[in-house]
């Protein structure tokens, strides 16, 4: 097998050595071509149909760019062997994602529920899986073990130290995963939010005496742009109200299908049946399930005699008859919890079923969320201590989206406003684009 050049819409040429291409060509990795990166986001942004496959290649490419940069500016800080393991860790970080990515990573859908990290590790460790076999052949037993130790954030492997920055490149507040998906998601959704210069971010990154990543002071504006981009991507794309609603439709559709199938009232294809009903799902069976199986089932469900199942499926298939959100941007989960029973009663009194016609989604908008370490600059202080802009992005903005049938939205808004903020009991005028 020859070395390979993969043409990418974001990074242009991605150079892949032949032995890495063997990993990419495995059944389990190729499956990621059929797992969309942004689940139901295409119902809002029609071109947002890019995949975990392309994103994984992008993260792999950026990991290579960052390790190359560190080796150049800090000679001896990183061996070629560990640099390769970091690249492969970035390549494989999403290998265990279920259909529709994070959305279906829930026990509401999977009878055998595990996180995508768990499924990924099982696939990679399984000597009977194709990717497990190839990974063992490419790396050997000892280096494969070290790769897993890096992914786990371990301090050492077989007595050989592992610097924290190796894990941080793959997973941290400033990692190649986030850098790629923000650039890629913005490009494919068409969101116009400014963006950031990933090449400059990478050039500004260094490793300190504690073995952790930090950013040179001159890179602070690039970090600000990175975090502002992250904030706006969540605000405008990931938490878009229609995206949140269609996610709820899809999960509810599959949960209803699971109930009906468990009662013997619904026949399922083998892959969807494994997902919804198999309580002893194997990694091999898991690796056979992807988005297309759900989409085929969705088409069948839309014609099913069960009204609840067909309603959810047909809304997704035809993109019509959607519930509408209450236009109360300041509404929080705590506020709505107080009046939820009353709202449900109103919906039922209007002839609707509150169990299926009252849909909520909690969101928390936060552009920077320091945990353990955050993003540090060369003086050792967190980036938020240097930048008022970053400090402002650290403030949590929690709210709840409430969806009800369009026919009763105005009345529901009046009710909720009168109970939560009496001064807002009369409806304000809203732009038609918010409907």
DSSP sequence for 295-314: HHHHHHHTT-S-HHHHHHHH
pLDDT digits (tens, 9 = 90+) for 41-74: 999 999 999 999 999 999 999 999 999 999 999 9
Could you give the angle at the alpha carbon of 349 between the alpha carbons of 344 and 351, nearest 5°? 100
- What is the model's pTM? 0.94
Per-state percent for the chain, helix, strand, coil, to nearest 5:
55, 10, 35
- Nearest Cα neighbor of 10 from 188, 259, 216 is 188
The dihedral built from the CA positions of residue 183, 185, 186 and 190, taken in this order, carries a sign that is: positive
The pLDDT value recorded for residue 434 is 44
CA dist., res. 105 & res. 35, Å (int): 13
The pLDDT of residue 429 is above 90:
no
Are 58 and 180 within 8 A, CB to CB? yes
Map tokens 């990154």 to a residue: 205
CATH architecture label of 4-238: Orthogonal Bundle (1.10)
160: alpha, beta or left? (left if phi > 0; alpha if psi -120 to 50):
beta
339/180 Cα distance (integer angstroms): 41
pLDDT digits (tens, 9 = 90+) for 103-158: 999 999 999 999 999 999 999 999 889 999 999 999 999 999 999 999 999 999 99
Q: Which residue has the higher pLDDT, 193 or 146?
A: 146
Q: What residue ranges do the domains of the chain occupy?
A: 4-238, 323-374+397-435
């Amino acid at each position: 097998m020859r070395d390979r050049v993969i043409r990418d819409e974001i990074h242009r040429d991605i150079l892949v050595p032949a032995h890495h291409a063997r990993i990419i060509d495995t059944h389990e990795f190729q499956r990621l071509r059929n797992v969309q990166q942004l689940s139901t986001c295409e119902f809002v942004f029609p071109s947002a149909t890019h995949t975990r496959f392309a994103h994984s290649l992008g993260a792999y490419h950026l990991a290579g760019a960052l390790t190359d940069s560190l080796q150049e500016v800090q000679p001896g800080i990183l061996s070629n062997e560990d640099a390769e393991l970091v690249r492969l860790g970035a390549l494989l970080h999403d290998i265990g994602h279920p259909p529709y990515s994070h959305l279906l990573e829930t026990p509401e859908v999977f009878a055998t529920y595990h996180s995508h990290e768990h499924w990924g590790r099982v696939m990679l460790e399984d000597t009977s899986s194709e990717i497990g076999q190839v990974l063992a052949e490419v790396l050997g037993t000892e280096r494969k073990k070290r790769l897993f130790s890096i992914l786990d954030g371990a301090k050492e492997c077989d007595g050989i130290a592992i610097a924290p920055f190796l894990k941080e490149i793959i997973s941290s507040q400033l990692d190649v995963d986030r850098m790629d998906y923000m650039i890629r998601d913005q490009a494919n959704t068409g969101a116009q939010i400014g963006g950031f210069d990933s090449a400059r971010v990478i050039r500004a990154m260094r490793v300190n005496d504690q073995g952790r990543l930090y950013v040179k002071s001159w890179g602070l504006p690039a970090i600000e742009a990175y975090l502002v981009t992250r904030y706006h991507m969540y605000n405008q794309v990931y938490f878009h109200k229609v995206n949140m609603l269609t996610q709820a439709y899809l999960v509810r559709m599959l949960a209803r299908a699971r109930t009906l199938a468990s009662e013997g009232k619904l026949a399922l294809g083998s892959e969807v049946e494994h997902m919804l009903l198999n309580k002893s799902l194997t990694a091999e069976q898991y690796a056979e399930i992807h988005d297309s199986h759900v989409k085929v089932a969705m088409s069948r469900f839309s014609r099913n005699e069960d009204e609840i199942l067909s309603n959810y499926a047909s809304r997704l298939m035809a993109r019509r008859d959607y519930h509408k959100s209450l236009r109360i941007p300041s509404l929080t989960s705590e506020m709505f919890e107080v009046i939820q029973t009353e709202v449900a009663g109103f919906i039922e009194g209007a002839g609707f079923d509150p169990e299926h016609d009252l849909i909520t989604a909690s969101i928390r908008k936060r552009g920077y969320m320091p945990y353990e370490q955050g993003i540090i600059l060369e003086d050792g202080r967190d980036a938020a201590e240097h930048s008022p802009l970053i400090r402002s992005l650290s403030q949590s903005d929690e709210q709840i989206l409430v969806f009800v049938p369009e026919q009763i939205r105005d009345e529901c808004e009046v009710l909720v406003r009168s109970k939560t903020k009496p001064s807002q009991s009369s409806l304000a005028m809203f732009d038609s684009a918010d409907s």
